[in-house]
Amino acid sequence: MNDFSYSSIGPEPGQAEPGQWPKLEAALAVVNRDLLATLPGQDALILMVVPPWQPLPPSGIDRGQVYVAMPDGRWHGNAVNACDLEEGDPPEPDDAATVLTVVADAAQATIMELFWQVWPLCREHKTGMHPRPAGATDDWYQGEADTVGPPVWWCRGNRDGKPHDVCLVGELATTLQGKQRRALRHSKRKPDSRR
C-alpha cells in the first residue's frame, strides 16, 4: 500500500476490477509494454482504486480515485481519473491520447519515486523522457488545448542536443539495441513454447 494509512478514515484501496476502467486498463497495457521492455524482470503495473471516503454524491457515479501502482499496491503521484465529477467531467477521459498520456505520466511517477531511478531513459542522451503529444513544440505544456499527435516519449536532449520525439508510448522496445531487443523477443516466446 501507499505510505499513507487509510484504516482510520475509510475503506482500504484495492486493485481495480477487470473491466471497471476499460480506457485506463487499455492505456496501462500499452505503458506496461514499455516498462517490461526497458526494465527486465519488473512485473506489470496495475490500477489501484481508493474508494470514496464519503457517501456517494447525488449523481451516484463516484467510483473512487484510480492510481497506477506497483503489483504490491504501492503508488506515487496523481490519480488518473477525473477528480471532480460534479463539474461534469467523465469518470475517464474521453480522448484515448489523453488517457494514454495521463497513464504514462502516472506510471513514470510511480516507477521513479519507488525505484529511485529515471524511467524511461533516452538511449541517445542518457536523460529522462516524458510523455507528450508527437510534434509538440519545445514550449508545450500539459493541458495545452491544441495538441497535435499521439503520445510519444519525448527527450529534452542535452546541452548540445536538440529536443526530440523518441518513439510512440508503447513502442520503447523498438529503441532497444540489437542484443536487448533479441533478449526481449526471446523472453516473449518462452511462455508460448511451454504450450
- Give mean pLDDT, residues 163-190: 74
Own/partner pairs, 134-138, CB within 8 angstroms, 24+ separation: 134/165, 134/168, 135/165, 138/163
Residue 163 lies in a domain: yes
Range of the domain at 43: 14-193
Asked, for residue 8, whether it belongs to a domain, the answer is: no
Residue 79, in any domain of the structure:
yes
Note the pLDDT tens digit of each residue in 112-137: 999 999 999 998 888 899 999 888 77
Residue 108 has pLDDT above 70, yes or no: yes
* Contact between residue 154 and residue 130 where contact means Cβ atoms under 8 Å apart: yes
d(CA 188, CA 46): 20
Q: Which CB contacts under 8 angstroms, 24+ apart, belong to 12-16?
A: 13/48, 13/49, 13/50, 13/51, 13/67, 13/73, 14/48, 14/49, 14/51, 15/46, 15/47, 15/48, 15/49, 15/73, 16/46, 16/47, 16/48, 16/49, 16/66
Q: For residue 87, tell me if it sits in a domain.
A: yes
Number of domains observed in the structure of the chain: 1
Residue 12: pLDDT band (50, 70, 90) is confident
User: What pLDDT is attached to residue 114?
Assistant: 94
Is there a domain that residue 129 lies in? yes
What's the pTM? 0.78
Residue 150 lies in a domain: yes
Q: What is the pLDDT of residue 87?
A: 57
Structure-model confidence comparison of residues 77 and 7, the more confident one: 77
Residue 99 lies in a domain: yes
Average pLDDT over residues 58-83: 81
Let me know if residue 1 belongs to a domain.
Answer: no
Least trusted range by pLDDT, from 57-66, 109-118, 165-174, 183-192:
183-192
